């Protein structure tokens, strides 16, 4: 297999410059194991965070989705499972904690849990090296570095990238508007955002939103990033914890089949179906309240639809399932294993970067 090393590999101690995005509130335990064992960075998501800690803001019935365990126990179990399944390969993994102001207390509890899990087990300490914060103010989270963690923070703009840099983030993840799930109010896509952020800060930048293959990894490197973060692409893999209906929906959709409507905190990109169209209608009819940004109000569209029976992830029906996903869904047509996917991304990017100079006349 080709070697394509960037600064990201050296910083995190991983062979390939690819991160799996956190995808809460869903479980990404099997996915993180497969991704880390494939030499990229697997990331545990904060499972059921909103659902169990703020039941009134939950998109779906928490117990039905996540069982009886409280979210901190779910996180601990995932940390133990991923440590165990990656121990022999000594693979590195991370945990994502959204730090939106609505969830600050929960975020603090999750971060504390990560720190304590590392202190309690030497394998976890060696392998769980990364924390990825997102969706909020970076400032309070620099302290994670004092506990030996590498700190990555997700931003949607140059303004927020500068804030993350002055807070001391080790890596900034610039996340374009085409990405799946929560996105910023301003629709700035990766093609503009990534090079703008890479020029504005000295901190290394990872590109997120719209990346899925070797061509897009090579493009990200040309735009000034040191690697890519993939969300939607990793859902459609054999090992991912997501339901078959979700994986199939990603494979079937073309690039125009996503919609942005109200999410838990701010806007969110959904795979287009009857459910997503209804969330858009509800978002438009509640627009003034939505823009005020109250967490429970912001979420009421999803809640109302659930009460009316429109939203039901558990029934596995493609038209009523609530599924987040990015525009890159239109570029995803298969269901590889994670290992096949990572290998094909690296091979394609390496081959493109090697052959490109021969295809361009430079005087």
Ligand X SMILES: Cc1cc2nc3c(=O)[nH]c(=O)nc-3n(C[C@H](O)[C@H](O)[C@H](O)COP(=O)(O)O)c2cc1C
- Residues near ligand X (CB under 6 A) are 21-24, 26, 45, 96, 98, 134, 154, 175, 178-181, 208-211, 229-233, 324-326, 328
- 3-class SS of residue 217: helix
Instruction: Region of 194 please: left (phi>0), alpha (psi -120 to 50) or beta.
Output: alpha
Q: Return all residues near 247 (Cβ < 8 A) that are at least 6 apart.
A: 235, 236, 237, 240, 335
Q: At closest approach, how far in Å is the CB of 67 from ligand X?
A: 19
Comparing CB distances to ligand X, the nearer of 129 and 269 is: 269
CA distance 113 to 104: 14
Q: Give the residue at shortest CB distance from ligand X.
A: 231
CB-nearer residue toward ligand X: 101 or 355: 101
Closer to ligand X by Cβ: residue 155 or 196: 155
CB of residue 124 vs ligand X: minimum separation in angstroms? 21
With respect to ligand X, which residue has the nearer C-beta, 83 or 232? 232
Least Å distance, CB 43 to ligand X, is: 8
Query: 90 CB contacts (<8 Å, ≥6 apart)?
Result: 126, 127
The string over 145-165, giving b where at least 16 C-beta atoms fall within 10 Å of a residue's C-beta and e elsewhere, is eebebbbbbbbbbbebbbbbb
**Residues in contact with 97: Cβ distance below 8 Å, sequence separation at least 6, in sequence order:** 22, 46, 107, 110, 111, 114, 131, 132, 133, 134
In the complex, least distance from residue 201 CB atom to ligand X, rounded to whole angstroms: 18
CB of 63 to ligand X, least distance (A): 20
User: Cβ of residue 172: shortest distance to ligand X, in angstroms?
Assistant: 13
Strand 258-262 to 171-175 pairing: unpaired
* Pairing label, strands 181-182, 205-208: unpaired
Residue with tokens 């030996």: 148
C-alpha gyration radius of the chain: 19
What is the smallest separation between the CB atom of 355 and ligand X, expressed in angstroms? 25
Distance CA 240, CA 302 (A): 25
For residues 68 and 266, give the distance between their C-alpha atoms in angstroms, rounded to a whole number: 28
- The smaller minimum CB distance to ligand X, of residues 123 and 335, is found at 335
Q: Which is nearer to ligand X, 36 or 175 (CB)?
A: 175
Task: Output 9 or 95, the one with its CB closest to ligand X.
Answer: 95
């Amino acid at each position: 297999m080709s070697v394509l090393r960037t600064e990201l590999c050296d910083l995190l101690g991983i062979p390939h410059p690819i991160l799996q995005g956190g995808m809460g509130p869903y479980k990404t335990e099997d996915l993180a194991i497969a991704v880390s064992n494939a030499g990229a960075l697997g990331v545990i998501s904060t499972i059921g965070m909103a659902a169990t800690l703020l039941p009134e803001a939950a998109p779906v019935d928490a117990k039905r989705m996540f069982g009886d365990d409280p979210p901190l126990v779910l996180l601990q179990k995932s940390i133990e499972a991923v440590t165990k399944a990656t121990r022999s390969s000594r693979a590195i993994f991370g945990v994502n904690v959204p730090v939106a102001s609505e969830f600050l207390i929960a975020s603090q509890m999750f971060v504390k849990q990560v720190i304590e899990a590392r202190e309690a087990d030497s394998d976890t300490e060696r392998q769980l090296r990364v924390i990825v914060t997102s969706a909020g103010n970076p400032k309070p989270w620099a302290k994670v570095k004092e506990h030996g963690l590498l700190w990555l923070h997700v931003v949607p703009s140059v303004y927020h990238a500068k804030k993350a840099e002055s807070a001391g983030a080790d890596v900034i993840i610039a996340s374009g508007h085409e990405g799946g799930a929560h996105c910023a109010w301003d629709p700035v896509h990766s093609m503009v955002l990534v090079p703008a952020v890479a020029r504005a800060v000295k901190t290394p930048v990872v590109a997120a939103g719209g990346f899925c293959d070797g061509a897009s990894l090579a493009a990200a490197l040309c735009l000034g990033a040191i690697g890519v973060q993939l969300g939607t692409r990793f859902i459609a893999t054999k090992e991912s914890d997501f339901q078959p209906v979700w994986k199939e929906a990603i494979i079937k959709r073309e690039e125009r089949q996503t919609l942005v409507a109200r999410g838990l905190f701010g806007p969110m990109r959904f795979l287009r179906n009857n459910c997503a169209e209804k969330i858009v209608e509800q978002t438009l009819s509640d627009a003034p309240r939505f823009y005020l940004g109250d967490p429970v109000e912001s979420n009421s569209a999803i809640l109302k639809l659930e009460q009316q029976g429109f939203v039901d992830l558990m029934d596995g029906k493609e038209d009523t399932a609530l599924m987040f996903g990015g525009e890159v869904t239109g570029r995803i047509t298969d269901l590889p294993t994670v290992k096949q996917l990572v290998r094909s991304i690296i091979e394609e990017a390496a081959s493109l970067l090697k052959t490109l100079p021969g295809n361009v006349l430079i005087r």
